[in-house]
Amino acid sequence: MNPANIWITFPELLIWFPLLAGMITLFIKNDKSVKAWSLIATIITLIISIGSICYSADKYFYINNVSYYWLQYLGASFSVGLDGMGRILTLLTAVSFPIIFTATYKNEYKNSNLYYALMLLTQAGLMGVFVATDALVFYFFWELALIPVYFLCSRWGGEKRIQATFKFFIYTFLGSLLMLIGIICVYQHTASTDYCKHSFGVQAFYAAHLSHTQQSCLFWLFFIAFAIKMPVFPFHTWQPDAYEQSPTSTTMVLSGIMVKMGLFGVLRWLIPVFPLASIKFGSIVMFLSVAGMIYASCIAMVQDDLKRLAAYSSIAHIGLMCAAIFSMTQIGIEGVMIQMFNHGINIIALWIVIDLLEKQTGVRKISQLGGVAHKAPVLTILLVVIAFANIALPLTNAFVGEFMMFSGVFKFSAWYAAVAGLSIILAAVYTLNMIQKVFYGQVNTLTSTIKEISWNEKLILSVVVILIIALGVFPQPMFDITKDTVAAIVTRFK
Amino acid sequence: MNNTLQLVWLIPFLPLVGFLINGLGRKQLSKALAGLIGSGVILASFLISVFVFFQVKSGNTKVVTFFKFINTDSLHINFAFQIDQLSSLFLLIITGVGFLIHVYSTSYMHDEEPKDFAKYFAYLNLFVFSMLLLVMGANYIIMFIGWEGVGLCSYLLIGFWFTNNDYTDAAKKAFIMNRIGDLGFLLAVFWLLTKIGTVNYADVFSAVNIAKLTPADITGITLLLFVGATGKSAQIPLYTWLPDAMAGPTPVSALIHAATMVTAGIYMITRSNILFTMAPFTQSVITIIGLATAVLAATIALKQNDIKKVLAYSTVSQLGYMFVGLGVGAYTGAVFHVMTHAFFKALLFLGAGSVIHAMGGEQDMRNMGGLKKYMNITHITFLLGCLAIAGMPPFAGFFSKDEILGAAFAKNPIYWIVGVLTAFMTAFYMFRLYAMTFLGKFRGTYDQEHHLHESPAAITFPLITLAILAVVGGWINIPGVFMNGGDKLEQFLSPIFAGSYAIVAKRELAPTTDYTLMAVSVLGALGALIFAINKFSKYEKTTVEETGFGKVLENKWYVDELYDAIIVKPLKKLSTFLNNVVEKSGIDGFVNGVGKSVNYGSRQIRLLQSGQVGNYVLLMVIGILILFIIQLFF
């Protein structure tokens, strides 16, 4: 293919199509049509994303090759590209939305056209984050993904939504501002281009001349932004509140995809730009991550609210991913690559089940539920698979990633690995406890009215479960997709 | 590709197919069909395993690779099976005993609803699949897949009757305690990966790679692997889940918690024998833990009244023996005992199941007695099983126990003394169980007595088969001192242990010593069993509670209570503290506090903008003055 003949590329399609679809949604009045159209639009996005995977061998789509003039006198350009990590995360974004829309198809919203338009806008923002190859473009989409979520939570959320979303917004926005300062500082140390003294391009950032001290200071500006987003202990307290108060489909986006923005940011914009500082502060981040894993796992054990349980469990899992990244080992980063995808799938599946329970019984309290397995055996079987994927049982998708991440942490320090490893025991404790209390035992008055899940829910959860098993038995394709990115990152700090 | 061993994928694949059919079709399948499929696939696997065994016996061993599981720049792991003497022997035990227990289950579980019946067989097939992966894997990762897989199935089957909270508690406990061990296993694997970058058996055990490991590495790795083994094979300190696991259906106890899964730790150490032989410190630890477990569990078994609990503690104790064998370097003895134990312990559990079935679900031996005249086949086969486990010649247990005890004596006579005392206790509590159940007069209710009957053929057939094996199973490794051309199993397995024996030669006892030791242990056990029969054949129900030491034993040395006090409760307290204090008041309080103080500060500063011109002028003047002073002095 001759590049000159192509008028639009996959990364651009992945941004513009959801954006356009969202705009169209605004003009549809009928609720049913809104839902149908949104679902179709996300399926088309998924097809585009799968297309981008199939063309992965084509160097043309590689990083930084799609670039338009945009603020050229500032040294910025609208450049997007897809490398392995971009591909797997855009695929995650593309896969998640149809799953979320199908699973929540029966949920009713006021002004549903606005709701779905904002969701699609979020999708576009997320895609933009994952394909941006220019720091200013990255920052732009980083904020674009945040703002619709703010409105989604504050308009359609639970009782304490205003408080929770305000905290969420201020917290993440604070991080973003620090990052913006960081971006500008790095920018001033980049080499000149044809139009400008400096450049925002990712390669220019990688080549920026930064002294050891400069790296050390700038590292924290970026890291705090990403740490809040992931979140890393102790920057995590916005998360359980936000997950609890947001409408479920927004929570799914938040926990399944948005937290990956933080991990992605570290892998694309932090470690390669500040390799020396990353090695220097690796042990601090490692300490925070491992402490956070144990801390969050302990707290998860005493949660009575299913949403908060899932939130803390997710914090523990993200902690492991962050630790694996900062172990600065190839095997750890390889594990993170595939785990970013798998964690997204698994946590969304978990939310779907929690949402189903809440819709049917009106409660999320573990202590009030029980005996669901008698009433909904299919749901129970699917949940058990998802729950065991959540604790990384072998032959489910999470095992290989966790195994490799722990290996990476072990290479960094055997003691950290041993302590972090306690979280796999604690995870078993809170997960099995949840299964026992909610699904096993006797039926009570609340759960006696539960019905077996409907066909669309069965379908979507079965799809997820098949994905969980398939990727658990054959993880290799995901390694093949992300191989290039891992190699590129590793060369930056070796 | 012409190698016939290429077919081995069928061995685990068939049970997997059985799992899928029974699992997905549980609503459609009739009980007969579900049972037929469930047992049929295992029978087919058994037949292939027999074929594979003879292939291996004729010298055809092979690593069969199917696909690349993980293939990255830093890690290469194949989905591959290792077919050699050790795995082929385990294949026979798993599929053979497994098949008998499947047949038994078709009758035992017959009161279940059809869909639960099919679910049961699905789980059982999934278990066999996982167990086969565990022993067939050609690297530690495939072993670990099976390792956690059997843990999952154990969890599902212990909690099979999930309405009962105690049962699901037991299931949860089993999984979590296994996970503690699994962490040790995983850390050992990470250690291996970090040092030598591979987890394939063939590579790990090669001289080149072992040379990369320092003695400290080897000791650390083997200790961690042993931690894994203590979880799965119920050794101190992680044994307490196994007695609770008796909440599952009895055939499950026979298959998973006696014959197969709990021997996974022994398999794993045997597989890694070269590493363990190079770590004498670890070997001593294993011997001592094994002995301590054997004694502890045997003492508890003396005072239990639940028929399954006695057998459970007996299993823990016998597993301890196997670890003693591993610890003193008698690898063949350990594997031999795994095999004979699989026969007689499965037999005893199935016999107990037959009794429980006849008693209408009663498990308390104090309400049994005199069952001899009602259930002849169960009685005879059970007696044979008891004789085998008590180590009476020429039953199977005698030979395997003797081999371990002999090796223990060669290493250190104290080990032998402790071991042989445990053997006496074993004989005592087993014949206490036998006497309380089958001898004397019936102590149950009138209804129960009327209901008593011999079990149907699906139950008696496995009993008879296993009883035959419990009698003759030991003869395949008759010691060389008895018979020229003995030690057949030893010779068969020798390629597996060649590396270990090259480092530490196998110690042989003088024939006279050997005979003396045997005589002591047999006579002692005989005395114990006669004493037990005398004491308990006329057992009467009493309401007198145990006191003193007896009470401690009846309450299992209060180990569960101890764990609860030192681990479970503090952990819960810590978590509650973290949640209520550190999280809510501490971190979140700080975050909210920052927000509040910004709010407060802004409110204060807002007061400055009062709208009164006079104030503004005053502030301006003050400002100018300050600037002026700064100009003046600096």
Please name the amino acid found at residue B434. Y
Q: Of chain B residues 14-33, which have a CB less than 8 A from chain A?
A: none
pLDDT exceeds 50 at position A341? yes
pLDDT of residue A44: 94
Cβ–Cβ under 8 Å, residues B319 and B334: no
Closest chain A residue by Cα to residue B183: A421
Q: Measured between alpha carbons, how far is residue A8 from residues A12, A68, A327, B463 in Å? A: 7, 12, 38, 73
Name the burial class of residue B392, with classes exposed (0-12), middle (13-18) and buried (19+) by CB atoms within 10 angstroms of its CB: middle
Average pLDDT over residues A341-368: 91
User: How high is the pLDDT of residue B1?
Assistant: 44
Task: Give me chain B's average pLDDT, please.
Answer: 91
Signed CA dihedral, B167, B171, B172, B173: sign only: positive
**Per-residue confidence band for A312, with pLDDT thresholds at 50, 70 and 90:** very high
- Torsion A377-A383-A385-A391 (CA) sign: negative
- Strands A66-69 and A77-80 come out as antiparallel
Q: Name the minimum distance, in Å, from the CA of A382 to any CA of chain B.
A: 12
Q: Does B587 touch chain A (CB under 8 A)?
A: yes
What does the pLDDT average to over A374-398? 93
In A, which residues are within 8 Å of B165 by CB distance? Answer: 436, 440-441
Under 8 Å CB pairs connecting chains A and B tally to 138
Radius of gyration for the alpha carbons in chain A, expressed in angstroms and rounded: 22
Whole-angstrom distance, CA of residue B66 vs CA of residue B6: 9
User: If we measure between CA atoms, which residue out of B366, B548, B529 comes closest to residue B440?
Assistant: B366
Number of neighbours of residue A422 by Cβ within 10 angstroms: 16
CB distance B213 to B196 below 8 Å: yes
**Measured CA distances, B322 to B234, B294, B340 (Å):** 12, 9, 11
What distance in Å separates the CA atoms of residue B142 and residue B132, rounded to the nearest whole number?
A: 10
Could A170 and B159 be called an inter-chain contact, meaning their C-beta atoms sit closer than 8 Å?
no
Angle, vertex CA A299, rays to CA A294 and CA A302, nearest 5 = 135
pLDDT one-digit tens code per residue, A123-157: 999 999 999 988 999 999 999 988 899 999 888 98
In this prediction, what percent of chain A has a pLDDT beyond 70? 96
| pLDDT over 50 at A60, yes or no | no
- What distances in angstroms separate CA B250 from CA B105, B403, B523, one per listed residue? 9, 30, 33
Q: What distance in Å separates the CA atoms of residue B617 and residue B623, rounded to the nearest whole number?
A: 10
* Other CB atoms within 10 A of residue B602 CB: 9
User: Given an 8 Å threshold on Cβ–Cβ distance, is B149 in contact with A329?
Assistant: no
CB A290 within 8 A of CB A323: yes
Residue A111 reports pLDDT greater than 90: no
Give the minimum alpha-carbon distance from B396 to chain A in angstroms, rounded to a whole number: 36
* Rounded CA separation A463/A470 (Å): 10
- Establish if B581 touches chain A: CB-CB under 8 angstroms: no
Asked if B490 and B496 count as a contact pair (C-beta separation under 8 A), the reply is no
User: Following DSSP, what letter does each residue of B427-466 receive, concatenated?
Assistant: HHHHHHHHHHHHSS---S-HHHHHH-----HHHHHHHHHH
From chain A, pick out residues whose CB is under 8 angstroms from the CB of B183. Answer: 418, 421-422, 424-425
* Chain B residues inside the 8 Å CB shell of A424: 179, 182-183, 186
The token pair at A60 is 């043309």
CB A282 within 8 A of CB A214: no
Query: Minimal Cα–Cα distance from B173 to chain A, Å?
Result: 9
Interface test with A, best of B16, B71, B75 (most A CBs within 10 A): B75
Higher pLDDT, A57 or B205: B205
Q: What are the structure tokens assigned to A276, written together?
A: 């020396």
Q: Indicate the residue type of B525.
A: A
d(CA B467, CA B50): 20
- Chain B segment 63-92 residues within 8 A of A by beta carbon are 67-75
DSSP A60: G
* Alpha carbons B529 and A3: distance in angstroms, whole number: 89
For residues B322 and B266, the answer to whether their CB atoms sit within 8 Å is yes
pLDDT band at B539 (very low <50, low <70, confident <90, very high): confident
Question: Alpha carbon of B344 to those of A138, B106, B226: distances in Å?
Answer: 68, 21, 26
A487 CB neighbours in chain B (<8 A) are 73
Which of chain B's residues have a Cβ under 8 Å away from the Cβ of A373?
A: 162
Average pLDDT over residues B518-528: 93
Residue B67 β-bridge partners: B79
pLDDT higher than threshold 80 for residue A4: no
How far apart are the C-alpha atoms of A476 and B255, rounded to whole Å?
35
Burial of B480 (0-12, 13-18, 19+ CB in 10 A): middle
Partner-chain residue, chosen from A388, A421, A483, that has the shortest CB–CB distance to B186 = A421
Cis peptide before B237 (omega within 30 of 0): yes
Res. A64: pLDDT tops 50? no
Q: Give the pLDDT score at A343.
A: 95
pLDDT (tens digit per residue) in B240-278: 999 999 999 999 999 999 999 999 999 999 999 999 999
Q: What is the mean pLDDT of chain A?
A: 89
Specify the amino acid at residue B169. Answer: D
pLDDT, tens only, B448-492: 888 888 888 999 999 999 999 999 988 888 887 777 777 888 889
CA distance A235 to A223: 11
Per-residue pLDDT reduced to its tens digit, A251-264: 999 999 999 999 99
Query: What would you report as the CA-atom Rg of chain B, rounded to the nearest whole angstrom?
Result: 31
Q: How many CA atoms lie within 13 A of B188 on its CB side?
A: 26
Give the whole-number percent of chain B exceeding pLDDT 70. 99
**pLDDT score of A61 more than 60:** no
Chain A contact for B572, CB < 8 A?
A: yes
Phi, psi of B360 (to 5 degrees): 70, 40
pLDDT at B373: 87
Considering only the beta carbons, identify the residue of B70, B155, B168 that sits closest to A476: B70
The one-letter amino acid at A93: T
pLDDT range class, residue B607, cuts 50, 70, 90: confident
Q: Across the strands, what pairs with B83?
A: B62
Q: B588 to chain A: which residues are within 8 Å by CB?
A: 237
C-alpha distance from A74 to closest chain B C-alpha (Å) = 35
Q: Which of A206-215, A380-389, B384-393 has the lowest mean pLDDT?
A: A206-215
